[in-house]
Amino acid sequence: MKFKYRSGQQPLDGFTLKRGVGKGGFGEVYFAVSDGGKEVALKLLIGHSEVELRGIANCLNMKHPNLVHVYDLREDSEGQKWLVMEYVLGESMSAVLNRHPTGLPLSLTKEWFSALARAVGHLHDRGVVHRDIKPANIFVEAGTLKVGDYGLCKTISTSQRQTRTVGTVHYMAPEVSTGNYSQKIDQYACAVVLHEMLTGKIPFDGESDGEILMKHLTATPDLSGVPPEFRPILAKALDKNPNKRYGSMAEMAKAVEPIQLLQAMPVGVRLSTVAAVTAPPGLLLTPDVEPAKAPPIPVPAPPRVADKTPLPMARPVQPPTFRDRLTGMMGALLAAPLVVAMGLVPYGLLANASDWTGLMKLFLVGTTLAWAILLGSGRATFRSSDGWSRRVRLGALGLLVGAFAFWLDGWTMPRAAGVQTVTSADAYLFGTVTMPADSFSTGIRYLLYFGGVLAAGRWWRAAARDRKERFSLFPLLAAGFWSAALLFLWPWEAGSPAAGIVPIVIAICAVQAVGPWTPTAKVLPAKKLRLGRV
């Protein structure tokens, strides 16, 4: 890491630089000693200084045990701005989380979040919004948590419109993207930090900043990995509507405080012993800065508890919500035609089909069959019993598909009586609706064939969200069996039975390919105990 100044130089009167500590988007940070012997952190402001200076003006005289102190703002002989700050020994919370990918001990999480809430609440009480809360800007020194990075702080004015987007996208509240901000954006960011302390992961991640922002705006956070006691707290603090969040950081901290934890720290072990500093000089805690070489500070793993302590229960998997089911169904319905079209490609090549009209009919019938199975399956599970109501529903949808196929083949549909005469039996059965006698017979067999195929098989198992595998050959074999077994119903005068068999098989392929699927975790069989002979 290359710095502008070397050890021993005095670019700012009254201070001697010892070494560079870190660099960030807002400047370079050095460990320095004043002429009187006081150790401080000097930050050279580089770029975006107007944003930095605004934050400093708001926080220059702010004092709190959980905030990194800002002492002074100085200017050197070259007109460069230097920030004189508290020199903090310790490491950032992000460094601690990197060593604990599954989250911190719950008791430590509670203690650290309480300190974070006090620090952010102190800013809010004085009309200041931090705007960049994240683990990289939170530090621990001798058991005391401190919040740094005042470069983005801003006082709250009557207008809450913001023209420049600030903060880190992983911790950015949805309303920031529209230029609106308030104290609630800090609460949202603190909730993301709390989620990360509990699970080791952030609630929203993606391949690009745009994807992450879209998830903040539209997606519901998955809280299944969070201890149940914290889920309602995080759900409220991460609400898309800032008016539905907590009224203040103190209110949110008050909700976290009474939670009883299964994992407890040993008696007598406090935060000061967990994160006590033994780090050598040189680790600065300051805004938006990447540390040079951070010495590790041990955070103990959850202690072994006595046998009387109950083991934590497995966290249940949350069932899909109505919104999840609706989104999955709409996506499946939109993707089904594409899969049907892809399935017709090998059939067209093998059959050497050159009739585009015939292929289009197969495509339309296959698509409607796939839609019928997806819609008729509803919320059925893989192990759903053979309920007649579900078979009747699928059969009725099959009748509609048969009527559609009948119409696609160019057969005459029913018309008002008087257009064409029919036999007396037909007139008795259908009253004022009539159609040619040959069309009537063909249409009935179309309906019975497709209706019978959809009513015969357990096609909901191919569309069930909890099916064992996304794609299986057994439903294809079943489709081939039933479509061949019911060929006695096929209207042979309409053409080759391939017009019925091919769309059914391709539709089952499409249903499996596009239907929502949640893979189930494999459970390992328990080992058998072998009893030795005495």
Least confident of 317-326, 380-389, 426-435, 442-451: 426-435
8 A C-beta contact, residue 130 and residue 119? no
For residue 438, the model assigns a pLDDT of 60
Least confident of 54-63, 120-129, 370-379, 508-517: 54-63
Indicate the pLDDT class of residue 382, thresholds 50, 70 and 90: low
From the list 35, 132, 186, 466, the catalytic residue is 132
Identify whether 307 is part of a domain: no
Indicate the pLDDT class of residue 492, thresholds 50, 70 and 90: confident
> Is it the case that residue 474 has pLDDT exceeding 80?
yes
Identify whether 62 is part of a domain: yes
Q: What is the domain-level CATH number for residue 20?
A: 3.30.200.20
DSSP 307-345: TTSPPPPPPPPPPPPHHHHHHHHHHHHHHHHHHHHHHHH
Last residue of a domain, one of 26, 51, 86: 86
What distance in Å separates the CA atoms of residue 371 and residue 440, rounded to the nearest whole number? 26
Indicate the pLDDT class of residue 220, thresholds 50, 70 and 90: very high
> Is it the case that residue 202 has pLDDT exceeding 90?
yes
| Model confidence pLDDT, tens digit, residues 322-340 | 676 777 778 888 888 988 8
Identify whether 236 is part of a domain: yes
Least confident of 324-328, 495-499, 501-505: 324-328
8 A C-beta contact, residue 379 and residue 395? no
For residue 268, the model assigns a pLDDT of 42
Q: What is the domain-level CATH number for residue 170?
A: 1.10.510.10
For residue 360, the model assigns a pLDDT of 86
Q: Are residues 223 and 327 in the same domain?
A: no
Q: Are residues 69 and 96 in the same domain?
A: no
Q: Are residues 262 and 392 in the same domain?
A: no
278 against 524, higher pLDDT = 524
Identify whether 305 is part of a domain: no
Q: Are residues 68 and 120 in the same domain?
A: no
For residue 437, the model assigns a pLDDT of 57
Least confident of 102-116, 272-286, 309-323, 356-370: 272-286
Q: Are residues 214 and 345 in the same domain?
A: no
Q: Are residues 246 and 154 in the same domain?
A: yes
Please state the domain count of the chain: 3
Q: Are residues 32 and 150 in the same domain?
A: no
What distance in Å separates the CA atoms of residue 347 and residue 26, rounded to the nearest whole number? 62
Indicate the pLDDT class of residue 27, thresholds 50, 70 and 90: confident
Mean pLDDT of the 131-142 span: 89
344 against 53, higher pLDDT = 344
Q: Which ranges in 85-241 belong to alpha helices (H)?
A: 93-99, 106-125, 183-199, 209-218, 231-237
Q: What is the greatest pairwise CA distance in the chain?
A: 117
| Model confidence pLDDT, tens digit, residues 29-73 | 899 999 999 999 898 887 655 655 766 777 787 889 999 888 888
For residue 203, the model assigns a pLDDT of 94
Mean pLDDT of the chain: 76
> Is it the case that residue 81 has pLDDT exceeding 70?
yes
Mean pLDDT of the 173-195 span: 90
Indicate the pLDDT class of residue 167, thresholds 50, 70 and 90: low
For residue 306, the model assigns a pLDDT of 42
Q: Are residues 282 and 186 in the same domain?
A: yes
Identify whether 490 is part of a domain: yes
What distance in Å separates the CA atoms of residue 414 and residue 429, rounded to the nearest whole number? 13
> Is it the case that residue 502 has pLDDT exceeding 60?
yes
What distance in Å separates the CA atoms of residue 213 and residue 133, rounded to the nearest whole number? 16
Identify whether 451 is part of a domain: yes
| Model confidence pLDDT, tens digit, residues 119-132 | 999 999 988 888 88
For residue 439, the model assigns a pLDDT of 67
Most confident residue range from 208-212, 248-252, 490-494: 248-252
* 23's tokens: 């660099």
Task: Label residue 120 exposed, middle or buried (CB < 10 Å: 0-12, 13-18, 19+).
Answer: buried
Last residue of a domain, one of 270, 291, 312: 291
Phi, psi of 179 (to 5 degrees): 90, 5
Range of the domain at 436: 322-514
For residue 405, the model assigns a pLDDT of 85
For residue 216, the model assigns a pLDDT of 93
Percent of the chain with pLDDT over 90: 27
Indicate the pLDDT class of residue 200, thresholds 50, 70 and 90: very high
For residue 484, the model assigns a pLDDT of 85
Q: Tokens 């015939």, residue?
A: 358
Identify whether 528 is part of a domain: no
Most confident residue range from 240-249, 302-311, 392-401: 240-249
Q: Are residues 340 and 477 in the same domain?
A: yes
Task: Label residue 468 exposed, middle or buried (CB < 10 Å: 0-12, 13-18, 19+).
Answer: exposed
Last residue of a domain, one of 244, 276, 291: 291
SS (H, E, C) 497-517: CHHHHHHHHHHHHHHHHHCCC
Q: Are residues 503 and 406 in the same domain?
A: yes
**Has 132 been annotated as catalytic?**
yes
CA count, 13 A, side-chain hemisphere, 437 = 7
For residue 225, the model assigns a pLDDT of 92
Q: Are residues 95 and 76 in the same domain?
A: no
Identify whether 198 is part of a domain: yes
Indicate the pLDDT class of residue 426, thresholds 50, 70 and 90: very low
Q: Are residues 340 and 205 in the same domain?
A: no
